[in-house]
Amino acid sequence: MNEIGTFDILGPNMIGPSSSHTAGALRIAFIAGKMVEKVKHVKFVLYGSFARTYHGHGTDRALVGGILGYHPDDERIRESFEYATEAGLTFSFEENFTDKEIYPNTVDIYVTGEDGRSMSVRGKSIGGGNAVITRLNGVEVELTGNYSTMVVQHIDKKGMMAFMTTVLSAYDLNIGSLRLYRESRGKVAYAIIEVDTNVKQQVVDALCGFEAVQNVILVPAIDLD
């Protein structure tokens, strides 16, 4: 169990009105926004309470703000639609009321980058401004964004784990956690690596050196100070 500190109680410093519907939603989109190079279009599909109350909670503005890379305490969130338009980012929202089994504060985010690459990200807001990414391109994962995180998309293949740990130790990175997620043997898989410090581009380049690796995505931790 994570210890509760002073600023878990007096915090987060956030744009209102709801830690789960505003700050937590932003966090999911912040991570999704890092999944492709410069997001040009994004579609959000909202479930449960997100779908029912997103206007009044500013969930929609928070989600767009997250794609723009804003932090939960950024006062531009309220006007994020205008800033997105200025930045050439198009966005749309859909409500899903049919899927009732899903966790109430869930959003699916489909991002498309400048180079046409796209990715789907499912996240849930779990309260207190915290969030968890639960799916990447349909593969079930777990990613909190509380640490600097590398997402290594690869073809499931022997020797992958050994290769990654070798690279990480060569660059003197302390691994907080390293988990592998795959849909089925020999198909696309994701390694999610959380580290204590920021990751340099050389590490990404080194990881891309393995033939099975398709893409390495860096997600910086949201610094709330």
Among residues 23 and 207, whose Cβ is nearest to another protein? 23
Q: Report the sign of the C-alpha dihedral through residues 178, 72, 133, 127, in that order.
A: positive
Interface residues toward another protein, by CB under 8 A: 3-19, 22-23, 49, 52-53, 55-58, 61, 73, 75, 77-78, 127-129, 225
Q: Cβ 155 to another protein, closest distance in Å? A: 41
Q: How far apart are CA 173 and CA 157, in angstroms?
A: 23
Structure tokens at 160: 């992958």
Among residues 82 and 114, whose Cβ is nearest to another protein? 82
Q: Cβ 110 to another protein, closest distance in Å? A: 24
Q: Cβ 105 to another protein, closest distance in Å? A: 10
Structure tokens at 34: 């890092």
The CA radius of gyration of the chain, in Å to the nearest whole number, is: 17
Q: Report the sign of the C-alpha dihedral through residues 172, 69, 177, 180, in that order.
A: negative
Among residues 65 and 136, whose Cβ is nearest to another protein? 65
Q: Could you report how far apart the first and last alpha carbons of the chain are, in Å?
A: 22
φ, ψ (nearest 5 deg) of residue 192: -115, 120
Among residues 61 and 135, whose Cβ is nearest to another protein? 61
Q: Cβ 24 to another protein, closest distance in Å? A: 11
